[in-house]
Amino acid sequence: MGGWTAPLLWAAVVPFVRGRMVTGDVDRAGTRIDELFETMRAFAEAAADYQRLLDTVAERVTRFMGDGCTVFLGTEDGQWLRPAAIYNRDEAAMSLMQRTFSDLPVRLDGESFVARVMRTGGVVIVPAIDPELAARRYSPETPAPVAAALSGAHLQSLLCVPLQVHDSRLGVLALSRNRVGETPFSQEDETCARTLAEYAALAIANAMLLESQKRELATRRRAEEETKKFVALVQRSRDFIAMAGFDGRVLFINDAGRDLLGIPVGLDVTALPLADFHTDEGMGRAAILRAQGHWEGEGHLRHFGTQALIPTQISSFLVRTSEGEPLCYATVQRDLRETRRLEAHLRQVQKMEAVGRLAGGVAHDFNNLLSVILSYSWMLLDGLPKDSPFREDAQEIHTAGERAAALTQQLLAFSRQQVLELRIADLNEILAGMAKLTRRLLGEDIELVTTPGVGLRQIKVDPGQIEQVILNLAVNSRDAMPDGGTLSISTGNVDLDEAYAASHAGVSPGPYVLMTVSDTGVGIDEATIHRIFEPFFTTKPTGKGTGLGLATVFGVVKQSGGHITVASELGKGATFKVYLPRYDGGRPSAPAPRPAASIAPRASGTILLVEEDAQVRTLMQGILHRAGYRVLDAPGPLEAARESDQFSGDIDLLVTDVVMPKMNGRQLAEHVARKHPAARVIYVSGYSEEAVLDHGGLDEDVELLKKPVTPAGLLQRVRRVLEG
């Protein structure tokens, strides 16, 4: 309070000395001075809290020299005066005034007393207020409630002084005295009120300053928080995000970007030229950005260490100041390598599928033709005398037919159209059963190391086909190790999770049995590895390889619901991983009996034969008839059904195609069983169709004869079924 000077104090006390203290009671003057000090101190103390200060001013000024006080403050737009604090000695009057005035600012260009004081900086004293008139001046639009409030608060006399600090007017202090008891304000009170207003204004100005500083600080803190959030967003993003200056220098690269480009930790990127990471094409985009403001498309980034080009999806733009001046370049780029890999994989899968469908269709017709060629050439051979000059010719036809049948089988295998004879099996047992053959195949220079997994789970596969898979892989490894080496085959249980499935086209997550086949051979280079599963792709000289080995492996594995991967590097050997779906529940099935070589002696029984291909039907009918069976034949399921209904005797066996239009083999079998419950069934099929078969394979308890049909195969199966 060091700045308090005697003249000021005197000025504050003078009116009382002159006006009221006619008795010259010096003690009372002293008390007033104390009160004044007290008031000033209260202002100072409240200055830290803006609203509390305004309330304190209204209350203290009232207590010092009136019955009520309202602090009006000018609004920022300079148009209004707003009642910021209202006090009255009488509580009822105070709440009435607060209710009426708190939300009722007064126009600065109006007729009210406070507006006039604010405009002129002068003082207004109204010794006796006319509530109606005052209300109309204060609120020309809604004078009634104002008038009611003024009367209700018993307002009699008003003294308005400006709240002013140096040249700036903050508002107006409006003091009031009540009609009851008090003397109206006089000229004498003015000096005192001015002094109080002066100090109140100073305190308010300080508080305003403090308040605005607080607001500014809070705003800055909020801005900092916002900035932090954005930095986190940019840094945490998995995309490459960077900024660069027009001088071709890097300004910023986010963490993901540093990772992508392989920028060493701690290296200051601002020292690096942009051209280090961009292709010429990328650098050329700067001009487009300057001209258009943005660029979107695909391009490349260059790896800091390896210099390898990384394909990216790019969105670049020009960053501008709020005035619209170009500031720097910014770019967001997404690594496209994984997307590209998946796309390539998908294309490959689709290509294989298309080739497979075509091959499957061809093989289906081939099987019928081959049934005819093989069977008639066989019967020809069987019938010709030992010394016939035609024997050799017939043998040639038969051998060519057999080779064509093997090729057709392979076509069906990789096109996943072959009929699988599913059995519940143990992969370790299949491997053990083949160990001898595999060793012989590999030769002496190659060591075979098998590591069967402990507690290996079962799989549901066609064991013969899985053997084919193992053989094809082993033969390839042998060919890749002309100077010897090691072939390792191991098995184990694995679980493929969602993440793995998502990143490998056509794989479902779940439990699998894994067979890993790896060799120490020449390995496979990057360009070749993408093509090895394609049918007819081979790097072997003409006549050495057909390129169907791995295509067959792929087809069998896929048809078994499995998945295969290959990893290799030139000179570092190759590793194939075959995943086969785990089968839970059930005991291993007994192995399917292998057909014996000879034809059965004469037999008897009635067979209903259904075959759509006329030539094959005639052939089969002939074979069965010659063997002694009575044969009812039908070109389709509907005719067969009719035949079954009308035949008066017993039908012992139904030999039918699996896939037929209108009614499939299984449905026909059900129909025949109604009239001939003892009839057994043999299905004949050349390729699978999902509508009828489970996973491309008939269930294990079903009798299945694969096409092409041969006399021995047909008769053997018929006899076994009829006798078994």
Ligand X SMILES: Nc1ncnc2c1ncn2[C@@H]1O[C@H](COP(=O)(O)OP(=O)(O)OP(=O)(O)O)[C@@H](O)[C@H]1O
| Interface with Mg ion (CB under 5 A) | 476, 549
- Whole-number minimum distance, CB 514 to ligand X, in Å? 17
Q: Does 117 bind ligand X (CB under 6 A)?
A: no
Which of 357, 540, 572, 662 is close enough to bind ligand X by CB under 6 A?
A: 540
Residue nearest to Mg ion (CB): 549
- Whole-number minimum distance, CB 536 to ligand X, in Å? 8
Q: How wide is the angle at C-alpha 387 spanned by C-alphas 385 and 393, nearest 5°? A: 85
Q: Residue 574 binds which one of ligand X, Mg ion, none, with CB within 5 to 8 A depending on kind?
A: ligand X
Q: What letter represents residue 495's amino acid?
A: D
Nearest residue (CB) to Mg ion, 100 versus 477: 477
Nearest residue (CB) to ligand X, 551 versus 693: 551
Question: Is the CB of residue 148 less than 8 Å from the CB of residue 169?
Answer: no
Peptide bond into 127 cis (omega under 30): no
Q: Does 667 bind ligand X (CB under 6 A)?
A: no
As a whole number of angstroms, the distance between CA 387 and CA 526 comes to 58
Nearest residue (CB) to ligand X, 289 versus 524: 524
Question: Is the CB of residue 398 less than 8 Å from the CB of residue 370?
Answer: no
Nearest residue (CB) to Mg ion, 9 versus 475: 475
Question: Is the CB of residue 575 less than 8 Å from the CB of residue 521?
Answer: no
Nearest residue (CB) to Mg ion, 191 versus 476: 476
Mapped onto helix, strand or coil, the DSSP state of residue 264 is coil
Which of 39, 70, 375, 477 is close enough to bind ligand X by CB under 6 A?
A: 477
- Whole-number minimum distance, CB 628 to ligand X, in Å? 43
Nearest residue (CB) to Mg ion, 162 versus 549: 549
Question: What are 164's strand-pairing partners?
Answer: 169
- Whole-number minimum distance, CB 399 to ligand X, in Å? 19
Q: Does 311 bind ligand X (CB under 6 A)?
A: no
DSSP code at position 276: G
* Cα-Cα end-to-end distance for the chain: 121
Q: Does 403 bind ligand X (CB under 6 A)?
A: no
Residue nearest to ligand X (CB): 549
Which of 539, 589, 606, 667 is close enough to bind ligand X by CB under 6 A?
A: 539
Q: In this structure, what token pair is assigned to residue 292?
A: 């258009």
- Whole-number minimum distance, CB 535 to ligand X, in Å? 8
Which of 252, 317, 500, 537 is close enough to bind ligand X by CB under 6 A?
A: 537
- Whole-number minimum distance, CB 545 to ligand X, in Å? 3
Nearest residue (CB) to ligand X, 331 versus 410: 410
Q: In this structure, what token pair is assigned to residue 515?
A: 């067979």
Q: Residue 468 binds which one of Mg ion, ligand X, none, with CB within 5 to 8 A depending on kind?
A: none
Q: Does 486 bind ligand X (CB under 6 A)?
A: no
Q: How far is CA 570 from the centre of its chain?
A: 35
Place of tokens 């126009």: 107
As a whole number of angstroms, the distance between CA 94 and CA 87 comes to 6
Considering only the stretches 33-41, 415-423, 471-479, 649-657, report the one whose residues sit in contact with ligand X under the rule CB under 6 A.
471-479
Q: Residue 546 binds which one of ligand X, Mg ion, none, with CB within 5 to 8 A depending on kind?
A: ligand X
Q: What letter represents residue 348's amino acid?
A: Q
Q: How wide is the angle at C-alpha 619 spanned by C-alphas 618 and 625, nearest 5°? A: 85
425: closest CA among 551, 519, 549, 515? Answer: 515
User: Binding string, 570-609, against ligand X, x = CB under 6 A?
Assistant: ----x-----------------------------------
- Whole-number minimum distance, CB 494 to Mg ion, in Å? 26
As a whole number of angstroms, the distance between CA 640 and CA 668 comes to 8
Q: Residue 532 binds which one of Mg ion, ligand X, none, with CB within 5 to 8 A depending on kind?
A: ligand X
Q: Residue 548 binds which one of Mg ion, ligand X, none, with CB within 5 to 8 A depending on kind?
A: ligand X
Strand order of the β-sheet with 630-634 is: 630-634, 606-610, 653-657, 680-685, 704-706
Q: Does 351 bind ligand X (CB under 6 A)?
A: no
Output phi, psi for 504, to 5 deg: -130, 110
12: closest CA among 175, 188, 161, 192? Answer: 192
Nearest residue (CB) to ligand X, 22 versus 527: 527
- Whole-number minimum distance, CB 675 to ligand X, in Å? 49
Radius of gyration of the chain (CA): 51
Q: In this structure, what token pair is assigned to residue 516?
A: 């890993």
Q: How wide is the angle at C-alpha 184 spanned by C-alphas 180 and 190, nearest 5°? A: 145
336: closest CA among 352, 315, 319, 307? Answer: 315
Considering only the stretches 100-108, 387-395, 476-484, 678-686, report the one whose residues sit in contact with ligand X under the rule CB under 6 A.
476-484
624: closest CA among 366, 379, 373, 364? Answer: 379
Q: Does 411 bind ligand X (CB under 6 A)?
A: no
Output phi, psi for 237, to 5 deg: -60, 145
Nearest residue (CB) to ligand X, 524 versus 620: 524
Q: Does 318 bind ligand X (CB under 6 A)?
A: no
Question: Is the CB of residue 191 less than 8 Å from the CB of residue 8?
Answer: no
User: Binding string, 683-712, against ligand X, x = CB under 6 A?
Assistant: ------------------------------
Look at strands 653-657 and 680-685 and give their pairing: parallel
Q: How wide is the angle at C-alpha 399 spanned by C-alphas 398 and 405, nearest 5°? A: 90
Output phi, psi for 307, to 5 deg: 70, 5
Mapped onto helix, strand or coil, the DSSP state of residue 70 is strand
As a whole number of angstroms, the distance between CA 80 and CA 376 comes to 114
Which of 476, 516, 644, 685 is close enough to bind ligand X by CB under 6 A?
A: 476
Q: Does 172 bind ligand X (CB under 6 A)?
A: no
Considering only the stretches 18-26, 354-362, 522-530, 649-657, report the one whose residues sit in contact with ligand X under the rule CB under 6 A.
522-530
Nearest residue (CB) to ligand X, 146 versus 574: 574
As a whole number of angstroms, the distance between CA 348 and CA 507 comes to 14
Q: How many residues bind ligand X (CB under 6 A)?
A: 23
Q: Does 442 bind ligand X (CB under 6 A)?
A: no
Q: Residue 127 binds which one of ligand X, Mg ion, none, with CB within 5 to 8 A depending on kind?
A: none
Q: Residue 656 binds which one of Mg ion, ligand X, none, with CB within 5 to 8 A depending on kind?
A: none
By residue count, the chain amounts to: 724
Nearest residue (CB) to ligand X, 139 versus 477: 477
Considering only the stretches 49-57, 77-85, 108-116, 518-526, report the one whose residues sit in contact with ligand X under the rule CB under 6 A.
518-526
**Contact set for ligand X, span 543-562 (CB under 6 A):** 545-551
Contact positions vs ligand X (CB under 6 A): 472, 476-477, 480, 519, 521-524, 528, 532, 537-540, 545-551, 574
